[in-house]
Structure 1
């Protein structure tokens, strides 16, 4: 009897959202480079996902607290909605990507609490520190750094997952 092969859905989700952040970063590039940046982000994401699935990477069947996860996602959605309401009133619309990165980064603390997987703390730290540090940069550099930087954080975080042996 052959063992059931694990499908690396969590890693795939992380890599996919890394690609989304890469596209966000590419939006800040000049018109001449924007399409190439988007294509690059999509290509890197596709290659990483293909490699993950080919290796059967990931871990499955471990601890996962659904209620904690749902709470983390609910708080993330509420924080994004509140930020969208408050940013224009506070004159912070130029920092929308950094605020989004901060909120999403913090939501990884909830994923850590839901799974006890320490890699989520690394992702949380990487995304929040990078997003906050990018606030000190001039536009459009801050959006490039936030987008491409958070893409790298997620790509590395998802790549660190190894199959169970």
Structure 2
């Protein structure tokens, strides 16, 4: 008896069989939570922030870093807010530079969240509290940021040394 080699068999369809396990038992749980009113907050760099150096009679100027307002109050119909800024005098080793020698320029703001209008304040000296940024006409929560610049005209009469003051941002 002679053995023949196996021939290819055509026309046979090979398929796969999917075996499924019996359906598992299932149980649904309804989960709820409540969104509550949050706070209106403002953050600014803690510092110290150096504006550089200049001779008496000159000017130092520079950005102080991002200031951010977050309004999580969820106001309906609107959640308007106004950020304000002022400064103390700048004390040095032997003299003081008045806050009126410092000017604040808010620059353009960036609206991160919200559907209202963000408007920079006009800037000006920091011896009085002034508007830094406003947000109006929005509904719900909002968040905005800006990077202000502080310039200080150094009086010719002040002595040498490092001067320090505190710039305060507030929001309401």
Please say which structure displays the higher CA radius of gyration: 2
TM-score with structure 1 setting the length:
0.22
Larger relative CO (CA 8 A, sep 6+): 1 or 2?
Answer: 1
Larger relative strand fraction: 2
Larger relative helix fraction: 1
